[in-house]
Chains A and B, each alone.
Chain A
Amino acid sequence: MPDKKENIPLIEIQNLVKYYPILGGVFLKEVAAVKAVDDVSLTIFKGETLGLVGESGCGKSTLGKSLLKLEEPTSGKILFKGEEIQDYTTDEMRPLRKKMQIIFQDPFSSLNPRKTVGSIIGEPMKIHGMYTGKERKNRVREILETVGLGKEHMRRYPHQFSGGQRQRIGVARALALEPEFIVCDEAVSALDVSIQAQVINLLKDLQETFGFTYLFISHDLHVVEFMSDRVAVMYLGKIVEYTHADTLYATPLHPYTQALLSASPVPDPDHVSRAIILQGDVPSPIDPPQGCRFHTRCPLCQDMCTQKSPELREIHPNHFAACFLL
Chain B
Amino acid sequence: MMTETLLEIKNLKTHFFVRDRIAKAVDNVSFTVAPGATLGLVGESGCGKSVTAHSIMRLIPEPPGKIVGGSIMFDDQDLVKASERRMRSIRGNRISMIFQEPMTALNPVFTVGDQVGEVIHLHKRLSKHEVRKRVIEMFQRVGIPAPETRLDEYPHQMSGGMRQRVIIAMALACTPRLMIADEPTTALDVTIQAQILDLMNGLKSETGAAILFITHDLGVIAKMAQHVAVMYAGRIVEYADVRSLFSSPAHPYTVGLMQSIPVYGIKKTRSRLITIEGTVPSLFNLPRGCAFSNRCPDVMSDCTATEPGIYSTGNNHMVRCLKYA
Q: How far is the CA of A267 from the CA of B257 in the complex (A)?
A: 11
B275 touches A197 (CB 8 A): yes
- Residue of A164, A200, A205, A267 with most chain B CB atoms under a 10 A cut-off: A267
CB proximity to A under 8 Å, residues B221-253: 221-223, 242-243, 246
B195-207, CB under 8 A of A: which get 1 and which 0? 1011000000000
Q: Is the CB of B262 within 8 A of A267?
A: no
A200 near B273: Cβ-Cβ < 8 Å: yes
Contacting chain B: which of A77-85, A174-182, A221-229? A221-229
Whether a CB of chain B sits under 8 angstroms from the CB of A275 is yes
Which chain A positions have C-beta within 8 A of B242?
269
Residue of A nearest to B273 (CB): A197
Residue of B nearest to A194 (CB): B276
A202 to chain B, nearest CB (A): 10
CB distance from B270 to the nearest CB of A (A): 10
Q: Choose among A197, A201, A262 the residue that contacts B261 (Cβ–Cβ < 8 A).
A: A197
- Shortest C-beta distance, B161 to chain A (Å), equals 6
Find out whether the CB atom of B198 lies under 8 angstroms from the CB atom of A275.
Answer: yes
Assuming the A-B contacts A192-B44, A197-B273, are A277 and B194 also in contact, with contact meaning beta carbons closer than 8 angstroms in the complex? yes
- B241: nearest chain-A partner, CB-CB: A269
Structural contact, A265 and B219, CB atoms closer than 8 A: yes
How many pairs of residues, A versus B, come closer than 8 Å at their CB atoms?
120
By the criterion CB–CB under 8 Å, are A267 and B219 in contact? Answer: yes
Which residue of the partner chain B has the closest CB to A221?
Answer: B190
Contact B189 A265 (CB under 8 A): no
Query: What chain A residues lie within 8 Å of B259 (beta carbons)?
Result: 197
Query: B222 near A266 (CB under 8 angstroms)?
Result: yes
Asked whether any CB of chain B lies closer than 8 Å to the CB of A204, the reply is: yes
Closest to A223 in B: B262
Closest chain-A Cβ to B185's Cβ sits at a distance in Å of 9
A152 on interface, CB distance cutoff 8 Å: no
Known: A265-B223, A267-B219, A269-B242. A281 touches B271 (CB 8 A): no
B191 x A219 contact (CB < 8 A): no
* 0 or 1 for each of A264-290: is its CB under 8 Å from B? (1 = yes): 111111110101011101100000000
Chain B residues, Cβ within 8 Å of A266? 219, 222-223, 263-264
User: Among the listed A194, A221, A222, A281, which residue makes an inter-chain contact with B256, where contact means beta carbons less than 8 Å apart?
Assistant: A194
- Find B190's partner among A164, A196, A260, A273 (CB 8 Å cutoff): A260
Is A154 close to B, CB under 8 A? no
Please name all residues of chain A whose beta carbon is closer than 8 Å to the beta carbon of B258 when the two chains form the complex. Answer: 267
Asked if A55 contacts B190 (CB within 8 A), the reply is yes
- Please measure, in the bound complex, the distance between the C-alpha atom of A265 and the C-alpha atom of B264, giving whole angstroms: 11
Tell me, yes or no, whether B45 is within 8 Å of chain A by CB.
yes
Q: Determine the distance from Cα of A233 to Cα of B271 in the docked complex, in whole angstroms.
A: 23
Given known A-B contacts A194-B44, A265-B220, A267-B261, A204 and B275 have beta carbons under 8 A apart: no
- Residues 64-97 of chain A, each 1 if its beta carbon lies under 8 Å from chain B, else 0: 0000000000000000000000000000000000
CB pair B246 A267 closer than 8 Å: yes
B195–A269 CB distance below 8 A: no
Shortest CB-to-CB span from A211 to chain B, Å, is: 16
Give Cα distance in the complex from A164 to B45, angstroms.
12
CB distance from B223 to the nearest CB of A (A): 5
Known: A192-B44, A193-B216, A226-B262. A201 touches B194 (CB 8 A): no
Q: Least Cβ distance of B280 to chain A in Å?
A: 7
Q: Which residues of B contact A164 (CB under 8 A)?
A: 279
Q: Does A307 contact B (CB under 8 A)?
A: no
* B272 contacts chain A at the CB level, 8 A cutoff: yes
B218 and A267 contacting across the interface, CB-CB below 8 Å: yes
A259 at the interface (CB under 8 A from B): yes
Q: How many Å lie between the Cα of A221 and that of B217 in the bound state? A: 13
For B256, what are the chain A residues with a Cβ–Cβ distance below 8 Å? 194
> Which residue, B219, B242, B256, B264, has most C-beta atoms of chain A within 10 A?
B264
Given the complex of chains A and B, what is the CA–CA distance between A204 and B271 in angstroms?
8
Is A247 in contact with chain B by the CB < 8 A criterion?
Answer: no
Bound: A261/B8 CA distance, A: 38
Q: Is B157 an interface residue (CB 8 A)?
A: no
- The complex places the Cα of A95 from the Cα of B43 at a distance, in Å, of 45
* B279 and A195 contacting across the interface, CB-CB below 8 Å: yes
Q: Does B140 belong to the interface (CB within 8 Å)?
A: no
Tell me if A197 and B218 are in contact (CB < 8 A): no
Given A56-B189, A268-B246, A273-B223, also A193-B261 (CB < 8 A): yes
The interface of chain A, by Cβ under 8 A from chain B, is 55-56, 162, 164-165, 192-198, 200-201, 204-205, 219, 221-223, 225-226, 249, 259-260, 262-271, 273, 275, 277-279, 281-282
Not counting A197-B276, A219-B190, A267-B258, a sample of 5 additional A-B residue pairs whose C-beta atoms are within 8 angstroms of each other reads A162-B279, A259-B191, A275-B194, A277-B194, A282-B189
The list of the 8 closest CB pairs from A to B, nearest first, reads A265-B219, A226-B262, A263-B194, A197-B260, A55-B189, A192-B44, A267-B218, A197-B273
Which residues of B line the A interface, CB within 8 A? 44-45, 159, 161-162, 189-195, 197-198, 216-223, 242-243, 246, 256-267, 271-276, 279-280
